[in-house]
Structure 1
Amino acid sequence: MKNSTDQPLSLDYLPGKTLRKIRESKGYTQKYVAQGIIKQSTYSKIEREEAEPAASKLFTILDRLEMSVGEFLFIQGDYAHSKKGAILYSFVNQKYNAPDELEKLKKEAEDYLTEFEDTVVKDIQSIYESLIVFGRTHDIKLARKYVQPVWDRIEAFDEWQLTEIYLVNNIMFFFSADSAIYISSRAIEQLKKYKGFNDSSKLRYNLKFNLVYLFMDSQKYEEALSALENLIPYTKELKKHDMLAVCYARKGVSMIKSGDESGEDWIDKGLNMLDIIEENELKELLKEEIKSFIN
Structure 2
Amino acid sequence: MNENYGLTLREIRNQKGYTLQELADGICSVSFLSKFERNESEITLGLFKQLLKRLAVSFDEFFHLHNNHEDYFEKFFDRVNECYLNQDLVELEKMKQAELKEWERSGSRISRCNKIAIERIIDLLKYEYPSTKDDDIQFLYDYLFNVEVWGKYELYLYNLTMHLLPQEMVVNLTRTAYKKSSRYIGMKRGVNVVASVLLNTLIYLTSIPNQNVHPYAEEFLSYLNELDLGDSDIYEKTSREVIRGFYKLKTGDLKEGEKIIRDVISFYKSIGSTQLAKKDETYLEFYLEHI
TM norm. shorter chain > 0.5: yes
User: Aligned residue for 1:286?
Assistant: 280
Find 1:214's aligned residue among 204, 210, 224.
Answer: 204
Aligned residues with identical type, % of pairs: 13
CA distance in structure 1 between the aligned counterparts of 2:185 and 2:226, rounded to whole angstroms: 19
CA distance in structure 2 between the aligned counterparts of 1:115 and 1:172, rounded to whole angstroms: 23
CA RMSD of aligned residues (A): 4.2
* 1:251 counterpart = 2:230: no
Residue 129 of structure 1, CA deviation = 2.1
> Match of 1:254, as an amino acid?
Y
Residue 270 of structure 1, CA deviation = 1.5
* 1:88 counterpart = 2:81: no
Residue 195 of structure 1, CA deviation = 5.9
Aligned pairs for 1:162-201 within 5 A: 162=151, 163-192=153-182, 194=184, 196-198=186-188, 200-201=190-191
Residue 125 of structure 1, CA deviation = 1.4
Residue 294 of structure 1, CA deviation = 2.5
CA distance in structure 2 between the aligned counterparts of 1:230 and 1:291, rounded to whole angstroms: 28
Residue 232 of structure 1, CA deviation = 4.9
Aligned pairs for 1:256-271 within 5 A: 256-260=249-253, 261-271=255-265
Unaligned runs of 5+ in 1: 1-11, 13-36, 38-51, 60-67, 72-80
Residue 181 of structure 1, CA deviation = 1.6
Q: What is the TM-score normalised by the length of structure 2? A: 0.56
Change (3 A) 1:187 1:292: farther
User: Aligned residue for 1:155?
Assistant: 141
CA distance in structure 1 between the aligned counterparts of 2:85 and 2:195, rounded to whole angstroms: 23
User: Aligned residue for 1:125?
Assistant: 118
CA distance in structure 2 between the aligned counterparts of 1:176 and 1:227, rounded to whole angstroms: 17
Change (3 A) 1:165 1:253: closer
CA distance in structure 2 between the aligned counterparts of 1:172 and 1:209, rounded to whole angstroms: 12
Residue 266 of structure 1, CA deviation = 0.8
Residue 150 of structure 1, CA deviation = 4.2
Residue 186 of structure 1, CA deviation = 2.5
CA contact (8 A) 1:222 1:254 kept: no
User: Aligned residue for 2:85?
Assistant: 101
CA distance in structure 2 between the aligned counterparts of 1:223 and 1:85, rounded to whole angstroms: 31
User: Aligned residue for 1:231?
Assistant: 224
CA distance in structure 2 between the aligned counterparts of 1:251 and 1:180, rounded to whole angstroms: 19
- String of CA shifts for 1:211-247, please: whole Å, max 9, x gaps: 3223314632785456445535747535322232222
CA contact (8 A) 2:92 2:118 kept: yes
CA contact (8 A) 1:184 1:211 kept: yes
Residue 180 of structure 1, CA deviation = 2.1
CA distance in structure 2 between the aligned counterparts of 1:111 and 1:99, rounded to whole angstroms: 11
> Match of 2:87, as an amino acid?
E
Aligned pairs for 1:19-168 within 5 A: 54-55=44-45, 69=59, 86-91=75-80, 101=85, 103-104=87-88, 106-113=89-96, 117-118=101-102, 119=111, 120-133=113-126, 136=127, 142-143=129-130, 145-146=131-132, 148=134, 150-157=136-143, 159-160=146-147, 161-162=150-151, 163-168=153-158
Residue 128 of structure 1, CA deviation = 0.5
CA contact (8 A) 2:245 2:258 kept: yes
SS of residue in 2 equivalent to 1:294: helix
- String of CA shifts for 1:47-101, please: whole Å, max 9, x gaps: xxxxx96249978xxxxxxxx7359xxxxxxxxx77x75332355xx6xxx9971
Q: What is the TM-score normalised by the length of structure 1? A: 0.56
Change (3 A) 1:227 1:125: closer
SS of residue in 2 equivalent to 1:262: helix
CA contact (8 A) 2:245 2:256 kept: yes
Residue 102 of structure 1, CA deviation = 6.5
How many residues are paired up? 217
